[in-house]
A and B are shown apart, each in its own frame.
Chain A
Amino acid sequence: MSAATLAGEEAVARAVRKALDAGAHSVDAALSEGDSFEARVRDREIDYVKQARERVLGIRAFVAGPGGLRTAITSTSDLAPDTIDRMAAETVALARATAPDPAAGLPEDGFAGELPDLGLLAPEDRNVSVEARIEEARRAEAAARALDRRITNSEGSQVGSGFRRATYASSAGFAGSYESASHSLYCEPLAREGEAMQRDYWMTAARRLGALEDAGAVGRRAAERALRRLGARPVATCEVPVIFEPLVARSLLGQLAGCISGSAVYRDATFLKDRLGDAIASELVTVIDDGRLPGGLGSRPFDGEGLPTRRNVIVEAGRLRSWLLDSYTARKLGLHSTGNASRGAAGAPGPGPTNLWLEPGRIGPEEIVRRTGRGLLVTELIGMGFNPVTGDYSRGAAGLWIEDGKPVHAVEEITIAGNLGDMLAAIDLVGSDLVWIGAIAAPTLRVARMTVAGR
Chain B
Amino acid sequence: MSDPRAPSPKPAPSGADAAAFFRERFGVDERALSRVLGSALERRVDGADLFFEYGVQDSVALEEGIVKSGDRHVEQGVGVRVVAGERQGYAHSDDITVESLELAAATARTISEGSGPAPPVAVRPAPPGRDLYPVATAPTDVPVAHKVRLLEEIDRYARARDPRVVQVMASVVAQQRHVLVATHDGASVGDLRPLVRLNVQVIAQDAAGRRRELGYQGMGGRYELERLLEPAAWRPLVDEAVRIALLNLEAVPCPAGAMDVVLGPGWPGILLHEAIGHGLEGDFNRKKTSAFADRLGQRVAAPGVTVVDDGTLPGRRGSLNVDDEGTPSQRTVLIEDGVLVGYLQDRLNARLMGVRPTGNGRRESYAHLPMPRMTNTFMLAGSDDPQEIVRSVSRGLYAVSFGGGQVDITSGKFVFSASEAYKIEDGRIGAPVKGATLIGNGPDVLTRVSRIGHDLALDQGVGTCGKDGQSVPVGVGLPTIRVDGLTVGGTET
Contacts and interface: CB of A to CB of B under 8 A. Distances in A.
Interface string A88-102: 001100110111010
B415 A385 contact: yes
Contact of B490 (A234, A453, A455): A453
B111 A46 contact: yes
A155 interface: yes
B90 A48 contact: yes
Interface in A67-122: 71-78, 87, 90-91, 94-95, 97-99, 101, 104
B183 to A, nearest CB: 18
A51 interface: yes
A354 to B, nearest CB: 22
Interface string B161-192: 00000110100000000000000000000000
A47 B257 contact: no
Nearest to A267: B167
B86 A47 contact: yes
A394 B70 CA distance: 35
A383 B71 contact: no
A42 B94 contact: no
Interface string A153-178: 11100000000000000000000000
Contacts of A74: 71-74
A347 interface: yes
**Interface size for chain B: under 10, 10 to 19, 20 to 34, or 35 or more residues?**
35 or more
B435 interface: yes
A417 B436 contact: yes
Interface in B427-479: 434-437, 439-441
A385 B436 contact: yes
Interface string A8-39: 00000000000000000000000000000000
Interface centre among B212, B288, B415 (most CB of A within 10 A): B415
Given A1-B27, A52-B367, A75 B74 contact: yes
A414 B437 contact: no
B415 A383 contact: yes
B95 interface: yes
Contact of B291 (A45, A197, A451): A197
Contacts of B73: 74-76, 346
Given A77-B76, A155-B289, A71 B86 contact: no
A343 interface: no
Contact of A414 (B63, B406, B439): B439
B125 interface: no
Nearest to B3: A97
Contact of A389 (B88, B214, B291, B489): B214
A42 B287 CA distance: 9
B209 to A, nearest CB: 10
Contacts of B93: 52-54
A394 B71 contact: no
A253 interface: no
A419 B89 CA distance: 46
A415 interface: yes
A78 to B, nearest CB: 7
Given A238-B493, A394-B417, A155 B287 contact: yes
Contact of B71 (A2, A232, A347, A418): A347
The interface centre, meaning the residue of A104, A413, A417 with most chain B CB atoms within 10 A of its CB, is A417
A45 B86 contact: yes
Contact of B254 (A76, A394, A398): A394
Interface in B276-329: 287-289, 291
A238 B492 CA distance: 10
A138 interface: no
A237 B485 CA distance: 13
B394 interface: no
A149 interface: no
A412 interface: yes
Contacts of B440: 413
B404 A76 contact: no
Contact of B70 (A95, A197, A199, A385): A95
A348 B69 contact: yes
Given A51-B90, A415-B437, A398 B256 contact: no
A389 B67 CA distance: 22
Contacts of A75: 71-74
A415 B487 contact: yes
Given A74-B72, A387-B435, A392-B435, A54 B403 contact: no
Contacts of B68: 71, 98-99, 101, 104
A417 B488 CA distance: 10
6 contacts: A50-B369, A346-B73, A347-B71, A384-B405, A396-B415, A454-B258
Given A1-B97, A347-B71, A382-B406, 20 more contacts: A51-B92, A52-B92, A52-B367, A55-B94, A72-B69, A73-B71, A74-B74, A77-B74, A90-B72, A97-B144, A98-B69, A98-B148, A99-B148, A268-B203, A269-B214, A346-B73, A390-B213, A413-B441, A415-B436, A415-B488
